[in-house]
A = this chain, B = another copy of it.
Amino acid sequence: MPEQTPHQTPHIVIIGCGFGGLEAAKAFKGKAVRVSLIDRTNHHLFQPLLYQVATAGLAAPLISAPIRHLFRSQDNVTTLLGEVRSIDAMNKRLEFVQPSSGVPHALAFDHLIVAAGASHSYFGNDAWEAHAPGLKTLQDAFDIRRKILMAFEAAEAQDDTAQREALLTFVVIGAGPTGVEMAGTLAEIARHTLPGEFRRINPASAKVILVEGGARVLQAMPLDLSEKALKQLVKLGVDVRLNAKVTQIDAQGIQVDTLPTPTDLEAKTASSPQTVSARSYQIHSKTIIWAAGVAASALGKQLASSTGCELDRAGRVKVLPDLSLPQVPSISVIGDMASLMRDVDGKSVPVPGVSPAAKQMGRCAAANILRRIQGQSTLAFHYADYGNLATIGRNAAVVDLATPLGALRFSGKLAWLFWLFAHIYFLIGFRNRFVVLADWTNAYLSFSRNARVVAEAVSPESS
């Protein structure tokens, strides 16, 4: 594609079509601007349900929609398939590569919204990725699905007891929302979906271990909901290890250091210091899923070196209250890539990396660009926090709603139904909502999972 020739109509480029980029592009509907929306894939992904694809509950097309289809009737949006390689803030241009052809293209912009999201971070231990995949893309979900289903298949064929046990041990690292969902669903698959289908192993004997470095699960939730979630996990059969720090991951399993707990530390004053040193042990497992660390897209570093903007510890770009970069008003950063503090009851806390925040930022960044074009001053982003919810498994979820009358917290079956309908409501397009609901009603009644299909049985990671 040639560089666009200069044009009177302002040209806005949006990088990434997650929740933030999608909302931003939609906000330009009917406005006198040209929008180019670049994404690495051909689809918008409803990430909150990605774990259902990874655990064979939903087919991939049910939670993804082709980007160009979403914008077919918004004439001022051009959809481009491409991976952005560099951003030249000074000259207002970027370079991207069309993945199916490998050909680089240059693109000039008047305004840029960077919404490239985040990917998993292994805290500097990049070698762990080969043994413990994370869950961000559809390809990740297919890889994890294959790993899980093939572990049961290999266990059925395995005679060595220790090997079989390692194949039937599933480790999830990190007890945030994704880790809790994955562990709960894995336990459900082992206890309810697969029993009766194998002749040599008992799938219900599989161990699901959730390893968390902190002192509780779902740390973004209030303490009482964390405790309720923990109880629901244990009830589903998940072995939860808190204060457990992963120090090594390889083809055999993981190495864990148990941190001293406050109780241990109290005991320390009464006994010798040695008793509270970290205990180290190994878990043999062939299926390890990484849900612990997230880092902003590497485009953050690009922006830092080209504009001098600052990054936080997770690689997120520190933005001004109007979401633009300091000294670079033509570039805004939103969603999981943006680092912004807000005031809650007098305390300064970060805007969380959740989809409602990304959507609100998308709308705010678009509105500020339109204000700039019209010579108006920009408005500061205000995060409307409607609360937080997390699912654990069948009939198990926790909900923390922010209502005008104060917080409303509930858990268990009612929370699970609330979670279910909220997610189906926010799914894009009627068909998907309808089919997902039909799928889940059937799965709920029969304990079955409808996407237990692996295209190629051979797992490249298998030993």
Contact = CB atoms under 8 A, between A and B. Distances in A.
Interface in A418-463: 431, 434-435, 438-439, 442, 448, 450-459, 462-463
A426 to B, nearest CB: 18
A454 to B, nearest CB: 5
Contact of A199 (B78, B103, B157, B457): B78
A454 B102 CA distance: 17
Contact of A61 (B59, B139, B459): B59
B457 A40 contact: yes
Given A1-B159, A431-B450, A439-B435, A42 B101 contact: no
A42 B431 contact: no
A453 B40 contact: no
A457 B105 contact: no
A43 B105 contact: no
A69 B198 CA distance: 9
A69 B197 contact: yes
Contact of A99 (B451, B455, B457): B457
A80 B154 CA distance: 10
A333 B458 CA distance: 26
Given A59-B61, A438-B434, A137 B455 contact: yes
Interface in A67-87: 68-69, 71-73, 78-82
Interface string A49-64: 0000000000111101
B438 A42 contact: no
A139 B455 contact: yes
A1 B198 CA distance: 14
Contact of A62 (B59, B99, B138, B448): B59
Contacts of A81: 150, 153, 156-157, 457
A454 B43 contact: yes
A262 interface: no
Contacts of A454: 41-43
Interface string A153-175: 11011110000000000000000
A89 interface: no
A278 interface: no
A453 B154 contact: no
Contact of A442 (B61, B151, B431): B431
B72 A197 contact: yes
Nearest to A462: B100
Contacts of A137: 455
Contact of A154 (B43, B101, B198, B459): B101
A462 B42 contact: no
Contact of A435 (B66, B68, B72, B435): B435
A102 to B, nearest CB: 7
Interface of A: 1-2, 40-43, 59-62, 64, 66, 68-69, 71-73, 78-82, 98-103, 105, 137-139, 142, 149-151, 153-154, 156-159, 196-200, 431, 434-435, 438-439, 442, 448, 450-459, 462-463
- What are the 3 tightest A-B residue pairs by CB atom distance, in nearest-first order? A59-B59, A100-B150, A61-B451
18 contacts: A1-B158, A42-B452, A59-B451, A60-B453, A61-B451, A66-B197, A68-B197, A68-B198, A73-B196, A78-B199, A80-B157, A81-B150, A100-B150, A100-B462, A101-B462, A138-B453, A431-B439, A435-B438
